[in-house]
């Protein structure tokens, strides 16, 4: 999720756990700091664009490692903010603020390796977009009321609105299940054979959903809306570059994108260079993660991949996606 959501989630958790034991601003500050810490890994350069993408949300988001560091951070918070008192309560607040970060990221489609060091599988539910005001606004309001009132009533509203945001997450997962079932019925009705199906919300909402259908030689993209749950889905199909992938699948960078995207990728040749796209984020033909792998000459070492800049500003891209999705009938 976006940094604002993670920050206010951490603050809300800190307030909820610490209650009136310390001034609200202190528990909010500690929670916000702990809720932000895992994403500081974006400042570490792993040497190439694909490694930077696939190694984000790794050790810094692993539940095991976050649990290990939580006592030390809790001791520090207790020392700085409450004179060494309430260590056990600080421990609970810090631990929850840390682990709710990767658990929230888990609900997006990006991929979070929260099982390290036991597994590096990039877990992803994909039921919420990376920025969703309906999730974040209740948290902001709750934290704001707690800071403004500085009394039990303010803390109560923080806790209630934290629960509302959690309930919204559960609703998006249920909506995703309903949409996935509808997609399966549509594929059967339209006699479309698929090997994989991806269902994710379009930008800034959970009403309109994007569907990606993978087959052996192509992939299809369509949109469906909860406002018209029984409407047919119009799919547009595009070549996925299977032959090109088979010819170069030994390339470590191409293989890593194929793994990280859970198979939702496409490969094409452009100007003698091989481009690989992660189909999970963005919309045809403009994807968030597109990498130029170079010429891939036989016998030559692989070139370092370069991230291809988006053709349109992100705000324009998101508006186009949402506008097109609303045209679903």
Q: For residue 208, report the phi and psi dihedrals to the nearest 5 degrees.
A: -110, 130
Distance of CA 215 to the CA centre of its chain: 24
Using CA of residue 105, residue 4, residue 153, residue 31, what is the dihedral sign? positive
Average pLDDT over residues 200-208: 93
pLDDT at residue 321, rounded to an integer: 54
Contact 212, 235 (CB under 8 A): no
Element (H, E) at 3: helix 3-18
Q: What is the pLDDT of residues 10-66, one digit of tens each?
A: 999 999 999 999 999 999 999 999 999 999 999 999 999 999 999 999 999 999 999
Contact 34, 12 (CB under 8 A): no
CA angle 95, 158, 90 (to 5 degrees): 25
pLDDT band, very low/low/confident/very high, at 229 (cuts 50, 70, 90): confident
10-13 long-range Cβ contacts below 8 angstroms, 24+ apart: 10/34, 10/35, 10/36, 10/97, 10/100, 10/101, 11/35, 11/139, 11/143, 12/139, 12/142, 12/143, 12/158, 12/161, 12/162, 12/165, 13/93, 13/96, 13/97, 13/100, 13/162
Would you list the DSSP string of 204-221? T-SSEEEEEEE-SSEEEE
Give the separation between CA 85 and CA 78, rounded to whole angstroms: 6
Residues with Cβ within 8 Å of 280's Cβ and at least 6 positions away in sequence, in order, are: 109, 110, 126, 198, 200, 212, 261, 262, 264
Using CA of residue 199, residue 200, residue 202, residue 208, what is the dihedral sign? positive
Q: Which three-class secondary structure state does DSSP give residue 73?
A: helix
Q: Give the global pTM.
A: 0.91
Q: Which three-class secondary structure state does DSSP give residue 21?
A: coil
pLDDT at residue 230, rounded to an integer: 83
Q: What is the pLDDT of residues 256-311, one digit of tens each?
A: 999 999 999 999 999 889 999 999 999 998 999 999 999 877 767 788 999 998 75
Contact 25, 156 (CB under 8 A): no
Q: Longest Cα pair distance anywhere in the chain, in angstroms?
A: 69
């Amino acid at each position: 999720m976006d940094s604002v959501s993670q920050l206010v989630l951490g603050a809300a958790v800190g307030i909820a756990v610490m209650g009136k034991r310390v001034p609200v601003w202190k528990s909010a500050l500690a929670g916000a700091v702990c809720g932000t810490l895992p994403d500081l890994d974006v400042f570490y350069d792993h040497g190439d664009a694909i490694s930077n993408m696939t190694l984000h949300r790794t050790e810094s988001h692993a539940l095991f490692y976050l649990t290990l560091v939580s006592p030390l951070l809790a001791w520090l918070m207790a020392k700085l903010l409450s004179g060494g008192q309430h260590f056990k309560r600080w421990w609970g607040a810090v631990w929850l603020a840390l682990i709710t970060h990767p658990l929230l990221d888990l609900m997006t489609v990006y991929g979070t390796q929260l099982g390290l060091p036991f597994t590096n599988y990039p877990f992803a539910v994909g039921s919420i977009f990376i920025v969703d005001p309906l999730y974040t606004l209740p948290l902001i309001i709750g934290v704001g009321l707690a800071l403004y009132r500085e009394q039990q009533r303010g803390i109560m509203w923080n806790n209630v609105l934290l629960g509302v945001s959690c309930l919204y997450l559960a609703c998006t997962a249920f909506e995703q299940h309903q949409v996935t079932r509808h997609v399966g019925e549509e594929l059967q009705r339209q006699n479309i054979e698929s090997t994989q199906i991806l269902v994710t919300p379009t930008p800034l909402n959970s009403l309109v959903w994007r569907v990606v259908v993978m087959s052996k030689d192509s992939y299809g993209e369509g949109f469906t809306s909860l406002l018209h749950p029984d409407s047919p889905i119009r799919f547009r199909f595009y070549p996925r570059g299977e032959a090109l992938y088979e010819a170069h699948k030994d390339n470590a960078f191409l293989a890593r994108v194929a793994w990280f995207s859970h198979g939702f990728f496409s490969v094409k040749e452009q100007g003698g260079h091989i481009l690989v796209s992660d189909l999970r984020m963005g919309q045809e033909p403009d994807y968030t993660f597109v990498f130029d792998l170079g010429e891939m000459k036989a016998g030559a070492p692989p070139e370092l991949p370069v991230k291809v800049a988006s053709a349109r500003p992100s705000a324009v891209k998101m508006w186009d996606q949402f506008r097109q999705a609303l045209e679903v009938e």
